[in-house]
């Protein structure tokens, strides 16, 4: 299952958890979005077995002050 993970944080996304997702082999794509008044935003596209696994991987982000949204991607 593929999930798009949107993250808003005061730190650049790449420094948060990018390397761990890459080493785990679940990261398909990642990028930083244009900063706005809420801080730095970015996304990860991950491929995991279940929604629960996606949530668990996101919980490992080493920053407590970030906003995360996880949305399943429809594969056509």
This prediction's pTM? 0.80
Q: Are 16 and 27 in contact (CB under 8 A)?
A: no
Domain layout of the chain by residue ranges: 2-73
In Å, what is the CA distance from 6 to each residue of 2, 24, 37, 45, 61? 13, 19, 16, 9, 12
Q: What is the pLDDT of residues 2-21, one digit of tens each?
A: 999 988 877 666 556 678 88
The band of 41, judged by pLDDT with boundaries at 50, 70 and 90, is confident
**CATH superfamily entry for domain 2-73:** ACT domain (3.30.70.260)
In this predicted structure, the answer to whether residue 51 has a pLDDT above a threshold of 90 is yes
Residue-level pLDDT at 16: 62
Between 37 and 49, the higher pLDDT residue: 49
């Amino acid at each position: 299952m593929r999930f798009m993970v949107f993250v808003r944080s005061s730190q650049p996304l790449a420094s948060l958890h990018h390397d761990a997702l890459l080493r785990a082999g679940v990261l398909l794509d990642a990028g930083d979005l244009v900063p706005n008044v809420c801080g730095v935003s970015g996304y990860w596209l991950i491929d995991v077995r279940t929604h629960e696994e996606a949530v668990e991987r996101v919980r490992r982000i080493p920053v407590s002050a970030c906003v995360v949204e996880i949305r399943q991607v429809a594969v056509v």
